[in-house]
Structure 1
Amino acid sequence: MEPSGAMTQMRHLTGEVERIAVEAGVGARRAQRRGKFWNATHLMLGFPAAVLAAVSGAAGLTSPDARVPAAILALLAAGFSSGAAFLRAEARQLANLRRRYAWQDLEVRARLVLAREAYMTEEDLYSALSRLLEQRRTVPSSAIVLSELPSPPTQPEPPQPG
């Protein structure tokens, strides 16, 4: 291949590696933001549920007149707890943490390829780009990661008569 054609091909391959690095950086930041959101959601639902459960138990035991407020607090605690279980916020936070690490790893590898690009042949750069594209395909989507996590515990079936 003529020198100008080789340079054009190298620039094109380098541009593809740069696009992968940018995409991976954006993906990592998005996964981090989503992880923070789900972590905050987990805390906002779980902590009040625990506090309300404790307060309702203490209120119910203090006097017979506190039964109604204790029952209301217990219902609120159950609502927060059910909401947390339904949303699976903790699982979603962990899933986004995995996605973030996968994107960050891809970005680092792409930046390493770019750092070495000046010393690589066209074939080496093409091979490195192929490996990066394969790694990009392995970055888990949020749906796949969530399906791999254990499902929340369910209520046992009531015993059947007979």
Structure 2
Amino acid sequence: MPAVAEPVKALAEEVHRIHESVAWSAQTQFEQLKLWRGMNMILGVPAAILAAISGGTGLAQHHAATVPAVLALISAGFGAALTTLNPSRRASQAQAAANAYLELQTAARQLLLVDLNNLSGDGPRDKLAELTVRRDEVNRTADPPGRYAHWRARRNVRKGGQAYEVDAEKR
């Protein structure tokens, strides 16, 4: 954490906590996004292929309907899973949440590193309150990520996935 004037030290620490929290949340939501995109492909591609094969074999074979019927049922199962899980909507929501967390991360970092020592009066407290409200709003609207997304996010952050080169030079 950068050096800050003593009167705003507690505020700086809280801004740092928000920065850390949203950095983890952003990474976790991006990992959740990857999972939902993959699920969309895993369920959607076989559903479409099986439906096409089923239709083609059904039209080609006039007397044997067993194979096309089984393929159609399997395709319907994939389609039902797609409809129930709705991975495309969940991927969009995870991406929106991740990007909102990144915006907050940037705002918190800029407040902490650039603006905090230059604000006077109630300025620092007002900026912290604004960040808190924005973070709470994103938290309310974001879908909770799963354990696997948390695990992948932790792995990526520990490998430096949230680090900037300019910050590495300062260490």
TM-score by length of 2: 0.75
Whole-Å separation in 2 of the counterparts to 1:121 and 1:20: 21
Q: How does 1:114-133 map to 2 (within 5 A)?
A: 114=112, 115-121=114-120, 123-133=122-132
1:39-85 deviations in whole A, cap 9, x for unaligned?
A: 11011111110000000111111123542111111111000001100
Whole-Å separation in 2 of the counterparts to 1:132 and 1:8: 21
Query: Which residue number in structure 2 is paired with residue 67 of structure 1?
Result: 65
CA contact (8 A) 1:10 1:122 kept: no
Query: Which residue number in structure 2 is paired with residue 32 of structure 1?
Result: 30
Whole-Å separation in 2 of the counterparts to 1:96 and 1:9: 38
- Percent identity over the alignment is 28
Structure 2 residue corresponding to 1:20, chosen from 15, 18, 21: 18
Whole-Å separation in 2 of the counterparts to 1:122 and 1:12: 15
Q: Does 1:45 align with 2:43?
A: yes
Displacement of 1:141 in angstroms is 2.7
Displacement of 1:122 in angstroms is 5.5
What is the CA RMSD across the aligned residues, in angstroms?
A: 1.7
Greater relative contact order structure (CA < 8 Å, 6+ sep)? 2
1:111-159 deviations in whole A, cap 9, x for unaligned?
A: 110122232236321111111111112112327xxxxxxxxxxxxxxxx
CA contact (8 A) 2:94 2:142 kept: no
Unmatched runs of 5 consecutive residues or more in structure 2: 145-171
- The AA in structure 2 aligned to 1:136 is R
Whole-Å separation in 2 of the counterparts to 1:36 and 1:122: 44
Unmatched runs of 5 consecutive residues or more in structure 1: 1-5, 144-162
Query: Which residue number in structure 1 is paired with residue 143 of structure 2?
Result: 142
Whole-Å separation in 1 of the counterparts to 2:46 and 2:65: 20
Q: How many residues align?
A: 138
TM-score by length of 1: 0.79
Moved over 3 A (4+): 6-9
